[in-house]
Amino acid sequence: MANPLDAERMGGLPHWEPSNVIGEMTLRDLLFSHDYRHIAIKGMLTSIVMLALGGLMAMLFRTELALPDIQFIQARSYMSLMTLHGMLMVFGFAIPLVISIMYYMIPKVLGTERLLWARGAQWSWWMLITAAVLLIISRPDFTWTFYPPMSLRVVGNLAWMGYVAIILVALSEMVAGAVLFRNGWAAKGRFRTMPLMGWAALSEGLLLMLSTPVLGLVGALMLTDWLQLTAVFDTANGGSVMTFMFLFWFYGHPAVYLPLVPAIAILYTLMPRILGKPMWSYWSAVIAFGLLTMLSFVVYPHHFQPAETVAGPIQRATQILTLLIFIPSTMHVFNWIATLWADPIPVSARRSIPFSFIIASIVFLILGGVTGYVNAQIAVDSDFIHNTYWVPAHFHAMFVGFVANMAMAGVYYLYPYFTGRMFNQAMARTHFWMWQIGIFTKVMMMYVLGYAYFPRWVVDYLPLPEWSIPQMLLTGGAYLIGLGFIVFVFNIILSATRGQKAVGDPWPVEHDIAGQTAATPAE
Amino acid sequence: MENALGLSGYQAIMMTVVFALGLLGIAGLLLAVFWPKRWRLKYRMEVGFVVLLLGLAWYADNQSTAIFTQYQSAIRESGTLSAEASTPSGQFDRELRVIAFQWGFAFLTDQNEISRSAAIVKPGEKVLFRIFSNDVIHGFNIPAVGITAEIEPSQEGSAVWIRAPKEPGKYLIQCLNYCGIGHAQMKAWLVVEGAEETPEA
């Protein structure tokens, strides 16, 4: 029997009236308005620009890596491209895009009708953009993890800009976390009926507010070390690399969940909306959010566990806790699959583009998540996992396969609400398949390379068939993702003026009762 | 080729578990979307699934810890590490000190003979590598025998041991931690040559 609280937990339906918000925005609105829709659209647009930049960099170094030996990119340029690709994709695309989608959805889904503390969201955006500009100007080549003392020695005169950018990213994300937490907390007193996006806002808010101050501290200490005012991390002057590792990864591991939690929140919002029914289990999702938040802060030493310093009880505890991350992740996936199984899938869902992206994103979450089981194990990690391509395979499955696919589901879903028009279905379908084939090829080839001990961060490699063939295929997969992105951009620009006008509910739930079998009685 | 950690069989089990779980999840998802039959799952099924995962976590933790502890115990028994000198402990057929630097490896024998970019060993030998970095964080990986270490710049260093391949030849040694723009060139070779050591009767 349906729970009487389900209607409230699903959020307001339908969420908005389609309107040309984006067409009616002035430049002033875009830059300074505190209307939640303007702030969210601004965040989405800049995230897509970052995706374009980061993706273009990936195309360049993927072309270089298609063949062994150095073709046209030298080592320093390659590392600059690689570093900027990582930083722009994580800090500029993945995290801000899904948070911006949350900004757009929260006021309606949680019923606040406005984004509480929108001024904070505005500041967060400006700090992030400043950071991105500084990063691009400084062109750091020390990877997104900027391990000292390497990062203190090999970078050029503009390195300070990179460290200032890291401090700004930390501040930007901390403020964004405060905004999300404030909006989730607004449901105080009615948590039992709060839509799951509210729980995600609380989880994401905590993750951001607790982890980013440490990143800011690391950025500040790196800056003072680089200026030779301190030597906290510089081993040549009495500093400690391990202090850096423990501080950086205290942010670095939760950072993995920073795009993941909002993407899960978008899924929990869109799935009931598109299927026209509540999730299979509300409390399973709430518990999974809670467990994921707690575990994310205590597993970070697994990022550097083959180092001698991580040994004994710390190593064992890290292994156990990392293995336990399997539990909340599986609870989410179980919930989604159980929801899909329960009742006939509406024909409207089957033909909707956001639904296709949702299903694909779950496939990739499984594909990336299951390998967490071996990644967690000290013995296996000390063999073929640590710092081989196995690691990027795992996080590209999560970040691109799950987060980027879910972000696309969110953007396509919101599109008629902020343009007043529908996108071109055929082009969206083309984008969908290009991405899925491209991402699948990319992730699988990265796994194959990792299993063959291909090292991360190399511009040049030995001409071994077990390395060069997957590298070639991997580059092909990346090109397909790039082409799909071009189709996506073309579609959203063209459809904003030429698309079919959206009226009423752009996502009505339509059942084809005759062809579908009803579920067996519920528990 | 003998896996340094003795993981071959265990790793096959782990990869099978990963493949099975992935297949189960993806098949369940696709059937839910495309198969017309509907099925309302009971809440206790999720509890059962979580219990199964806890069991898998328990198994993995025990096995991984046992394998790694056994591997490490041989190193612990060989004594403390020092970059300056090395006294053979008798635990291993050969002990080499390795200096990892931007961007290469130097191998020192217990007679202080130095070799740049080549560790020369005999087939099947049990070899201990005591690895030190004098500049930045480096990695030390030998794909042929499946072992990786991360070495921070310090006096303590890090250690790994391997059973050298029985087939004579050159086997890649590479850095796995980004250590500057020469990282891709930071390679060396495990050179296996000569006759296999036969244990004394």
**Residue B1 lies inside a defined structural domain of this protein:** no
Which of A65, A146, A150 is best to mutate for the B interface (most B CBs within 10 A)? A150
Pairs of CB atoms within 8 A across A/B: 235
Cβ neighbours of residue A28 under 8 Å, at least 6 residues apart? none
B48, B77, B106 — which closes off a domain? B77
Q: Which domain holds residue B63?
A: 8-77
Q: Does A370 touch chain B (CB under 8 A)?
A: yes
Binding-face residues of A in 142-181 toward B, CB within 8 A: 142-143, 145, 147-150, 153-154
Residues B145 and B179 in one domain: yes
pLDDT of res. A235: 87
Q: Does B69 touch chain A (CB under 8 A)?
A: no
**Residue B84 lies inside a defined structural domain of this protein:** no
Average pLDDT, chain B: 89
Q: Would you call B40 and A458 a contact, using CB atoms and an 8 Å cutoff?
A: no
> Which residues of A are less than 8 Å from B56 in CB distance?
326, 373
Residues B72 and B106 in one domain: no
> What pTM, to 2 d.p., does this model score?
0.94
Binding-face residues of A in 238-277 toward B, CB within 8 A: 241-242
**Residue B164 lies inside a defined structural domain of this protein:** yes
Residues B101 and B60 in one domain: no
Q: What is the DSSP string of A214-268?
A: HHHHHHHHHHHHHTTS--SS-GGGT--HHHHHHHHHHHHHHHHHHHHHHHHHHHH
> Which residues of A are less than 8 Å from B68 in CB distance?
378-379, 382
Taking alpha carbons only, the member of B150, B22, B149, B33 closest to residue A394 is B22
Residues B101 and B65 in one domain: no
Residues B12 and B65 in one domain: yes
Question: Does residue B53 register a pLDDT over 50?
Answer: yes
- As a whole number of angstroms, the distance between CA A40 and CA A35 comes to 9
pLDDT of res. A11: 63
Q: Would you call B179 and A150 a contact, using CB atoms and an 8 Å cutoff?
A: yes
Going by pLDDT thresholds of 50, 70 and 90, the confidence category of residue B86 is: low
Which of A139, A287, A308 is best to mutate for the B interface (most B CBs within 10 A)? A308
pLDDT of res. A440: 98
Residues B28 and B101 in one domain: no
Residues B109 and B52 in one domain: no
**Residue B178 lies inside a defined structural domain of this protein:** yes
pLDDT of res. A519: 45
**Residue B87 lies inside a defined structural domain of this protein:** no
- How far A378 CA sits from the closest chain B CA (Å)? 6
B194: left (phi over 0), alpha (psi -120 to 50) or beta: left
**Residue B67 lies inside a defined structural domain of this protein:** yes
Taking alpha carbons only, the member of A40, A135, A45, A48 closest to residue A86 is A135
Mean pLDDT computed over B131-151: 93
* Structural domains present in chain A: 13-507 (1.20.210.10)
- As a whole number of angstroms, the distance between CA A433 and CA B119 comes to 49
Q: Find the CATH number of the domain harbouring B98.
A: 2.60.40.420
Q: What is the dihedral of CA A373, A376, A380, A384, to 10 degrees?
A: 90
- How far A243 CA sits from the closest chain B CA (Å)? 12
pLDDT of res. A2: 59
Question: Does residue B25 register a pLDDT over 50?
Answer: yes
Distances (CA, A) of A201 to A36, A327, A458: 15, 21, 38
Mean pLDDT computed over B39-47: 93
Which of A242, A342, A383 is facing B152, going by the closest CB pair?
Answer: A242
Binding-face residues of A in 325-344 toward B, CB within 8 A: 326-327, 330-331, 333-338, 340-344
Percent of chain B with pLDDT over 90: 70
Q: Would you call A363 and B15 a contact, using CB atoms and an 8 Å cutoff?
A: no
B77, B103, B138 — which closes off a domain? B77
Residues B101 and B160 in one domain: yes
- How far B106 CA sits from the closest chain A CA (Å)? 19
pLDDT of res. A290: 97
Q: Does A378 touch chain B (CB under 8 A)?
A: yes
Q: Does B82 touch chain A (CB under 8 A)?
A: no
Nearest CA in chain B to A145: B178
- CB half-sphere exposure, B110, CA atoms < 13 A: 13
Residues B70 and B131 in one domain: no
What is the number of structural domains in chain B? 2
pLDDT of res. A111: 86
Q: Tell me the average confidence (pLDDT) per consecutive run of 10 residues in chain A, 523 residues long.
A: 65 76 94 95 97 97 96 94 95 96 94 93 97 94 90 81 96 97 91 93 97 96 94 90 93 92 97 93 96 94 76 87 94 97 94 97 97 92 91 96 98 96 97 98 97 96 96 98 98 96 91 56 38
Residues B69 and B100 in one domain: no
Which of A307, A323, A452 is facing B57, going by the closest CB pair?
Answer: A323
Residues B106 and B164 in one domain: yes
**Residue B201 lies inside a defined structural domain of this protein:** no
Question: Does residue B84 register a pLDDT over 60?
Answer: no
Residues B61 and B124 in one domain: no
**Residue B138 lies inside a defined structural domain of this protein:** yes
Taking alpha carbons only, the member of A82, A91, A80 closest to residue A169 is A91
Contact A495, A431 (CB under 8 A): no
Q: Does A345 touch chain B (CB under 8 A)?
A: yes
Q: Would you call B18 and A519 a contact, using CB atoms and an 8 Å cutoff?
A: no
Q: Which two tokens stand for residue A156?
A: 């050029």
Question: Does residue B178 register a pLDDT over 70?
Answer: yes
